[in-house]
Amino acid sequence: MYGKEAFSFRENSIVVTIPFERINKVGNKVGKKVGNKKALNSRRQKIILEMRNNPNITTAELHAILGVSETAVEKNISFLKENGYIERVGAKKTGYWRVL
């Protein structure tokens, strides 16, 4: 059973957040390693969750959801790509995010 915190409402949608064991076990410290990958902080976990929910999400949409600058979103996406958490499939405008 999930509480109220599992549900969030947006302009045209309802998002249900179901925790994945992998995300919960990753950890909260940026420098910590999990296997071959660096651990994720809560912002990076949220970006991955949003990309799973909407593979076509843009940095502008992530900026609005997270409440941080687009530059901060881009830096976090770069970290996630460099450390093998996500990859971009296709062109910048017509492609989508694949969570690995």
Q: Residue 20: its pLDDT value, please? A: 58
Q: Is residue 18 within 8 Å of 2, Cβ to Cβ?
A: yes
User: Can you list the alpha helix ranges (DSSP code H) found in the chain?
Assistant: 21-26, 42-53, 59-66, 70-82
pLDDT tens digits, one per residue of 69-92: 999 999 999 999 999 999 999 988
Question: pLDDT class for 14, splitting at 50, 70, 90?
Answer: confident
The count of structural domains within the chain is 1
Q: Residue 22: its pLDDT value, please? A: 46
Is the pLDDT assigned to residue 11 strictly greater than 70? yes
Query: What CATH number corresponds to the domain at position 45?
Result: 1.10.10.10
Buried b or exposed e, range 86-95, using 16+ CB within 10 angstroms: beeeeeeeee
pLDDT tens digits, one per residue of 17-72: 766 554 444 444 444 555 556 678 889 999 999 999 999 999 999 999 999 999 99
DSSP state of 31: S
Expressed as residue numbers, the domain containing 75 is 4-99
